[in-house]
Amino acid sequence: MTSSTIRRTRGRGRLFGSVLDTVGDTPTIRINRLAPEGVELYVKAEFFNPAASVKDRLALNIIEAAEREGLLQPGQTVVEATSGNTGIGLAMVCAQKGYPLVVTMADSFSIERRKLMRMLGAKVVLTPRAEKGFGMYRKAVELAHANGWFLASQFETTANADIHEATTAQEILGDFEGKQLDYVVTGYGTGGTVTGLGRVLRNARPDTKIILSEPANAQLVGSGIAQERDANGAPAVGHSAFEPHPIQGWTPDFIPAVLQEALDKDYYDELRPVAGSDGIHWARELASKEGILTGVSGGSTFAISQEIAKAAAPGTVILCMLPDTGERYLSTPLFEGIAEEMDAEEVEISKSTPGYQMP
């Protein structure tokens, strides 16, 4: 595009029946300034979903699958344990469909997440951070059983990976139709993304390597220690390899049943740990060098993508999953050191002309 050519848009050619019809079809975007020379690096920007994360997909399918199967009745309360993004997605879906929603969440997760859920009409019940993800999970189960509420069960339900098989994977196939795709890099929270992608790409694109990542200080999969489960596949206890980590939305203190399918069926080719500090660094680099605002989880998958890209042969094509937006992390270390007031350079810019200066 030349400087004399203005960008134009023509609309999507359709009118949407509700906000829920806008879930999915997120764009795949080329990385330019941060890609090593000779390597094509792309990101799938899941923050283009209406509630700004990949979890909008599973939230919508969990509710609609329950409606189809008669498991969720009109006006029935939905309850779920979440670090934030699934809760925000469920709050959006429940607001549009008219279901009350109660979310249980450890008080260690970012304040803006609980505010967003409450803004969307949900009730947020906090659990002690010392009880980790297992504590908020058990609280949701307890509330569901005591009150006859519908438990969304994001960590166990087949509706989770099913929606990634039906949408996310199909979008990747469409975007890379007739084009090389050597690597797809993702982390895991519930495991829905990697499981859904693995089901499709193993058959449709067998040459594409799927790289799975988890926090370096909380390597549950990398530990090789099996998750203890109850008869329904739910975690019976927290995983012994877990430690608190800064990659919110990734790796609760148990291995979800949804992820277990990917482990059992070898849906990934390599497991790579990533330090939370690297995730923060690369999220900041994506923002300042590419204009792409993602969270620590997106920065972490991008950190692994950079490792692969720097060692890759010329012509290699890599796709990196970016699960959510950076705005979800304003009160976290991702924004630590980002000043609210003018710094010395900004003050000097202000003083370079005589008017409208702050006292």
pLDDT tens profile 200-219: 999 999 999 999 999 999 99
Among 103, 118, 151, the domain boundary falls at 151
55 in active site: yes
My answer on whether 119 and 226 are in the same domain is: no
**Any domain includes 297:** yes
pLDDT at 184 (0 to 100) = 98
CA distance 300 to 217: 13
pLDDT in tens, 7-20: 999 999 999 999 99
Same domain, 137 and 231: no
What Cα–Cα distance (Å) separates residue 275 from each residue in 105, 145, 359?
24, 38, 42
Cα–Cα dist 232/102, whole Å = 22
**Mean pLDDT rounded to a whole number for the chain:** 95
| Spatial CB neighbours of 354, under 8 Å, sequence gap ≥ 6 | none
pLDDT in tens, 123-143: 999 999 998 888 999 999 999
Predicted confidence (pLDDT) at residue 87 exceeds the cutoff of 60:
yes
Determine what percent of the chain is predicted with pLDDT higher than 90. 90
Q: Is 110 a catalytic residue?
A: no
pLDDT band at 98 (very low <50, low <70, confident <90, very high): very high
CA distance 140 to 228: 19
The one catalytic residue among 110, 297, 300, 305: 297
pTM given for the model: 0.94
Measured CA to CA, the distance from residue 33 to residue 51 in angstroms comes to 28
Do 36 and 70 fall within a single domain? no
173 and 31 assigned to the same domain? yes
My answer on whether 60 and 26 are in the same domain is: no
A 10 A CB-CB count for 225 gives 13
Judge whether 83 and 249 are in contact, CB under 8 Å: yes
Of the candidates 55, 132, 153, 305, the residue annotated as catalytic is 55
Domain boundary (104, 122, 151) is at 151
What CATH number should be reported for the domain holding residue 330? 3.40.50.1100
Domain-ending residue, one of 88, 120, 151 = 151
Q: What is the pLDDT of residue 134?
A: 87
Q: Are residues 219 and 299 in the same domain?
A: yes
**Residues 329 and 51 sit within 8 Å (Cβ to Cβ):** no
Q: Under DSSP, is residue 272 helix (H, G, I), strand (E, B) or coil?
A: strand
Residue 161 belongs to some domain of the structure: no
pLDDT band at 83, cuts 50/70/90? confident
Q: Is residue 144 part of a domain?
A: yes
CB 175 within 8 A of CB 28: yes
Q: How confident is the model at residue 2 (pLDDT cuts 50, 70, 90)?
A: low
Return the closest-CA partner of residue 135 out of 157, 110, 104: 104
Q: Is the domain of 231 the same as that of 323? A: yes
Dist. CA 275–CA 292, nearest whole Å? 21
Q: Is the pLDDT of residue 1 over 60?
A: no
**78-81 and 101-106 as β-strands: parallel, antiparallel, unpaired?**
parallel
The average pLDDT across 237-247 equals 93
Cα→Cα distances 63→11, 20, 68, 84, 115, Å: 29, 11, 9, 17, 22
E strands in 251-307:
270-274
Yes or no: say if 175 and 201 are a contact pair by the CB < 8 Å rule: no
Residue whose tokens read 């949701």: 140
Whether residue 102 sits in one domain with residue 236: no
Residue 294 is part of which domain span? 19-48+168-335
Query: Are both 269 and 147 inside the same structural domain?
Result: no
* Structural domain includes residue 3: no
Q: Would you say residue 156 lies in a domain?
A: no
Q: Which residues contact 233 (CB under 8 A, 6 or more apart)?
A: 156, 257, 260
Give the pair of three-digit tokens for residue 74: 């009109």
Q: Is residue 340 part of a domain?
A: no
- Whether residue 3 has pLDDT greater than 70: no
CA atoms within 13 A on the CB side of 236: 8
The answer to the question of residue 230 being in a domain is yes
Q: Residue 163 — pLDDT band, cuts 50, 70, 90?
A: very high
- Res 355 pLDDT > 60: yes
Q: Give the relative orientation of helices 276-285 and 296-311 as an angle to the nearest 10 degrees.
A: 90
**For residue 172, pLDDT beyond 60:** yes
Number of independent structural domains in the chain: 2
| Phi-psi region at 312: left, alpha or beta (left = phi > 0; alpha = psi -120 to 50) | beta
Question: What does the alpha-carbon distance between residue 229 and residue 102 come to, in Å, rounded to a whole number?
Answer: 25
Check whether residue 62 and residue 119 sit in a common domain: yes
pLDDT band for position 220 (cuts 50, 70, 90): very high
> 36 and 65, same structural domain?
no
Q: Quick one: pLDDT band at residue 307, thresholds 50, 70, 90?
A: very high
User: Cβ contacts of residue 223 below 8 Å, gap of 6+?
Assistant: 239, 240, 241
Residue 8 lies in a domain: no
Whether pLDDT at 4 is above 80? no
Is the domain of 178 the same as that of 129? no
